[in-house]
């Protein structure tokens, strides 16, 4: 059996990649993809702990999380589509009409 | 069932009539006038029966008390004083209601009129039979409210609306003093009991108050460096209330303006239901007044001054109702003077004063109803535009003449011949003479005798100007219908004979007011406490000229009036002109009205209030703006955080989560 450490390390690496992408990218689609990465890093953690502790709760949570991510992605991309139609770009730095 | 048990119905029935007439009046003929008439008639019958019982046995008064809350009660007290007032109020009010059926027949708002007059009567009856000062005050205020409603009955007229407001506000000045007196009295009695009131003792009931007079008199307060007895303070505050309600100087200004209401309302106010309340208050608390140094003297001086002061203004008025209004003020002055003369004749003063009150109620109601009859027929209130009305309206003329004779007080001293005003005004003037004799202070007597002369002049001026001579303008007058003339005739008969019939029995009856099963008071002991020296001998022993004096001045007044206004021998045009400063002063009512409304009301109260309001407004404005400003500035700083750059938000989130984790870690290491 693969030790828990490997799962956690993988999860941390994926999370860091996601975070890095999220902080550096300006395109809305890329940022959403990075958010998905971070979410899935968390999912890996959940499933790993679940299997390690022989408790199904974590896996159920992971399923919920996936469903949630799907919904979020659907809405997020729909919003980005709408923005694109209006502004002809999806650079979130420029979408700041509600700024002070 | 004994009639005493129905005493509570006396005020309740008219109050019920108020509700019924208000809601059902529109569906009944004459605005539902029949409801209050029946109710007040029943009240009158009950009052009369109780009075008859009381006449048989004056020592057994009707007294019923029920717990209201804590140490206060509601109750009924019908002693001789209350009994005569009850009978008079309900009787005069009844006649005025009947008369109003004719007088108000053209008015659209009849149900409202009859409902309000019924409430007015109920309130006054409530005042009269209260057995404690608090209930008295509540009904007293109700009287004030009704007077406001009725004076402003034609509220679409701006002058009526402002007259109503003026009446309400002016009497309020007195009412506040009255209330202050009650509060002080309550506090004092509480102090006397050391704060623990025994079960079943109602502190504001009249018998309880009277039994504590010596203790209250012993309490003193420093005012402007003078030691003032609380009793004097309380009685003067009470008298302040009476001054407001009874139109004494300096708070009489509302009474002439109260003429804006229908004439029947004026009759009610002036005869039965309002202005007598003040006199009644002083009479009711007379034991307190006589035990309080100076109080009775102040009552006497104010009364005498008012009698003369108002009579001078009555001389120059041209509005028939205004002449009568000033006449009322003057006569009320006599009543107050009569009460003040308790300083020299003791308890008899209450009888004298109340006797004048009752007689005055009859002839003043009659005068007003006659005036209403004339106004109804002629269509103007200005006596300069009348003249010769006597030929068109013989019944009105005859009854008005009787009332005027009664007001002027014609009669023959020492006999039973005379109109009612004679028998009641003379004892007061004689008492004033006695007062002068014993204290060397002749002002009350002088004022009252000059006022009597002026009374005769102004009332016969009215008679001559209105009823005799030739019409000065064309008016299609006619005699009023029977529903209006019958009350006139009844009142006329009473004005003629009531005084002669009851001149001795009335006073004797009223003497029982303060010595019966409810209260028993030694007036002489109280008078000593108040430092008044009662005359050893009663009235009637004065020189002949003094006995005849009031009648002589009455005749003199009649003669002067006749020469000026009847025969027109004396030419008054040089005196009665706006160029004559005295005439101008009188015509402008001593500029008192101007001072009150233009200076006090507009300058002091109105502008003062607006200044205060402005300052307070500004203060609040500043405060509100300041608080708003703080948050505006704060928000201005805080919103700089919203950069609109998503990465900044993400940084904040990550920093926050990291900090939380570090914190958690630290906490877990500590524990």
pLDDT at B507: 78
Looking at residue A73, which CATH number applies to its domain?
A: 1.10.287.3510
Establish if B196 touches chain A: CB-CB under 8 angstroms: no
- d(CA B8, CA B65) in angstroms, rounded, equals 11
> How much is the pLDDT for B542?
66
B639–A23 C-beta distance less than 8 A:
no
Which residues of A fall within a CB distance of 8 Å from B653? none
Domain-located, residue A11: no
Give the pLDDT confidence score for residue B541 in this predicted structure.
63
B651·A93 Cβ contact <8 A: no
Mutate to test the interface with A, among B643, B646, B656, B657 (most CBs of A within 10 A): B646
Q: Which helix (H) or strand (E) holds B64?
A: strand B62-69
- B2 near A CB under 8 A: no
A92 with B642: Cβ contact below 8 A: no
CB contact B647 to A (< 8 Å): yes
Nearest residue on chain A to B645, judged by CA atoms? A93
In this prediction, residue B645 carries a pLDDT of: 79
Counting the structural domains of chain A, the total is 1
B482 inside 8 A of chain A by CB: no
For A39, the domain range is 28-94
Pick from B57, B50, B72: which is nearest to B2 by CA? Answer: B50
| Residues B153-189: tens digit of each pLDDT | 888 888 888 888 888 888 888 899 999 999 988 888 8
Q: How far is CA B646 from the centre of its chain?
A: 81
Residue A3 counted as domain residue? no
A77 assigned to some structural domain: yes
Cβ–Cβ gap A22/B639 under 8 Å = no
Residue A47 resides in a domain: yes
Query: Is A15 contained in some domain?
Result: no
| Cβ contact B72:B204 at 8 Å | yes
Residue A45 resides in a domain: yes
What would the pLDDT profile of A26-80 be if each residue is shown by its tens digit?
888 998 999 999 999 999 999 999 998 888 999 999 999 999 999 999 999 999 9
> A68 in a domain, yes or no?
yes
> Are the Cβ atoms of B644 and A96 closer than 8 angstroms?
yes
pLDDT at res. B576: 66
From chain A, the residues in CB contact with B645 under 8 A are 93, 96
CB pair distance less than 8 Å for A96 and B640 = no
- B600 in reach of chain A (CB within 8 A): no
Cβ-based interface (< 8 Å): residues of A facing B: 19, 22-24, 31, 92-93, 95-96, 98-100
Contact yes or no for A23 and B642 at CB 8 A:
no
How far is residue B349 from each of residues B28, B448, B510, B529, measured CA to CA in Å?
A: 46, 15, 10, 18
Contacts of A100 in chain B (CB under 8 A): 639-640, 642, 644
Counting Cβ atoms within 10 Å, is residue A21 exposed (0-12), middle (13-18) or buried (19+)?
middle
Closest-CA distance, A58 to chain B, in angstroms, reads 21
Q: Out of B643, B646, B654, whose CB is closest to A92?
A: B646
A15 to A12, A51, B116: CA distances (angstroms): 5, 20, 87
Q: Measured between alpha carbons, how far is B328 from B455 in angstroms, rounded to an integer? A: 10
Measured in whole angstroms, how far is the alpha carbon of residue B221 from the centre of its chain? 29
The helix (H) or strand (E) run that includes residue B140 is helix B133-151
Cβ <8 Å between B646 and A98: no
> What separation, in Å, do the N-terminal and C-terminal C-alpha atoms of chain B show?
90
Tokens of B382: 């200005």
Which position has the token pair 């009476």? B242
> Which member of B640, B647, B650 has the closest CB to residue A100?
B640
Cα B479 from Cα B492, distance rounded (Å): 16
ipTM beyond cut 0.95: no
Q: Which residue of A has its CA nearest to B651?
A: A23
Q: Comparing C-alpha atoms, which of B266, B285, B275, B305 is closest to residue B210?
A: B285
Which residue ranges in chain B fall short of pLDDT 50? Answer: none
């Amino acid at each position: 059996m693969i030790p828990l450490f490997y799962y956690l390390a993988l999860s941390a690496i994926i999370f860091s990649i996601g975070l890095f992408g999220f902080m550096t990218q300006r395109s809305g689609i890329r940022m959403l993809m990075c958010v998905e990465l971070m979410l899935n890093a968390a999912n890996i953690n959940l499933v790993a702990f679940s299997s390690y502790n022989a408790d199904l709760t974590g896996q159920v949570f992971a399923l919920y999380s996936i469903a949630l991510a799907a919904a979020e992605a659907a809405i997020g991309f729909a919003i980005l589509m709408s923005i694109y139609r209006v502004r002809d770009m999806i650079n979130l730095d420029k979408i700041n009409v509600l700024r002070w | 069932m004994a009639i005493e048990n129905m005493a509570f119905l006396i005020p309740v029935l008219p109050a019920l009539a108020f509700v019924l007439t208000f809601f059902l009046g529109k569906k009944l003929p004459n605005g539902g006038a029949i409801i209050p008439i029946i109710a007040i008639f029943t009240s009158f019958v009950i009052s009369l029966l109780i009075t008859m019982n009381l006449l048989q046995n004056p020592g057994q008064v009707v007294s019923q008390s029920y717990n209201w809350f804590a140490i206060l009660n509601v109750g009924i007290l019908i002693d001789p004083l209350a009994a005569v007032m009850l009978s008079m109020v309900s009787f005069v009010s009844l006649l005025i209601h009947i008369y109003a059926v004719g007088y108000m027949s053209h008015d659209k708002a009849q149900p409202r009129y009859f409902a309000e007059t019924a409430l007015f009567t109920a309130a006054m009856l409530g005042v009269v039979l209260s057995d404690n000062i608090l209930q008295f005050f509540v009904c007293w205020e109700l009287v004030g409210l009704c007077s406001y409603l009725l004076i402003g009955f034609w509220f679409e007229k701006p002058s009526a609306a402002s007259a109503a407001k003026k009446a309400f506000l002016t009497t309020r000045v007195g009412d506040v003093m009255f209330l202050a007196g009650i509060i002080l009295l309550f506090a004092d009695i509480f102090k006397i009991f050391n704060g623990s009131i025994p079960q079943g003792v109602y502190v504001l009931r009249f018998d309880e108050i009277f039994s504590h007079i010596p203790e209250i008199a012993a309490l003193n307060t420093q005012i402007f460096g003078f030691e003032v007895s609380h009793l004097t303070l309380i009685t003067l505050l009470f008298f302040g209330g009476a001054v407001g309600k009874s139109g004494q100087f300096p708070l009489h200004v509302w009474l002439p303006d109260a003429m804006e209401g229908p004439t029947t309302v004026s009759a009610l106010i002036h005869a039965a239901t309002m202005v007598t309340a003040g006199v009644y208050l002083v009479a009711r608390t007379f034991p307190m007044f006589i035990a309080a140094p100076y109080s009775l003297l102040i009552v006497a001086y104010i009364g005498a001054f008012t009698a003369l002061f108002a009579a001078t203004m009555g001389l120059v008025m041209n509005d028939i109702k205004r002449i009568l209004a000033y006449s009322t003020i003057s006569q009320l002055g006599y009543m107050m003077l009569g009460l003040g003369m308790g300083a020299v004749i003791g308890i008899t003063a209450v009888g004298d004063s109340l006797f004048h009150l009752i007689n005055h109620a009859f002839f003043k109601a009659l005068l007003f109803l006659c005036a209403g009859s004339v106004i109804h027929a002629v269509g103007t209130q200005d006596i300069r535009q009348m003249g010769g009305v006597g030929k068109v309206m013989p019944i009105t003329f005859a009854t008005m003449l009787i009332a005027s004779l009664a007001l002027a007080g014609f009669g023959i001293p020492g006999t039973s011949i005379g109109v009612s005003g004679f028998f009641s005004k003379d004892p007061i003037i004689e008492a004033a003479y006695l007062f002068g004799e014993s204290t060397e202070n002749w002002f009350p007597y002088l004022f009252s005798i000059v006022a009597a002369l002026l009374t005769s002049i102004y009332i016969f001026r009215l008679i001559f100007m209105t009823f005799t001579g030739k019409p000065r303008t064309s008016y299609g007058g006619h005699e009023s219908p029977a529903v209006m003339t019958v009350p006139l005739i009844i009142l006329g008969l009473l004005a003629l004979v009531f005084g002669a019939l009851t001149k001795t029995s009335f006073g004797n009856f009223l003497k029982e007011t303060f010595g019966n099963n409810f209260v028993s008071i030694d007036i002489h002991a109280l008078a000593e406490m108040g430092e008044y020296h009662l005359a050893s001998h009663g009235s009637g022993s004065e020189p002949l000229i003094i006995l005849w004096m009031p009648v002589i001045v009455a005749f003199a007044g009649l003669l002067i009036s006749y020469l000026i206004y009847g025969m027109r021998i004396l030419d008054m045009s040089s005196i009665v002109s706006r160029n004559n400063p005295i005439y101008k002063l009188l015509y402008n009512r001593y500029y008192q009205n101007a001072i009150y409304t233009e200076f006090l009301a507009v300058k002091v109260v109105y502008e003062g209030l607006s200044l205060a309001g402005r300052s307070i407004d500004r203060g609040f404005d500043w405060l509100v703006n300041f608080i708003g400003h703080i948050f505006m500035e704060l928000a201005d700083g805080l919103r700089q955080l919203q950069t609109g750059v998503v990465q900044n938000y993400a940084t904040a989130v990550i920093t926050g989560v990291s900090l939380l984790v570090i914190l958690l870690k630290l906490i877990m290491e500590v524990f």
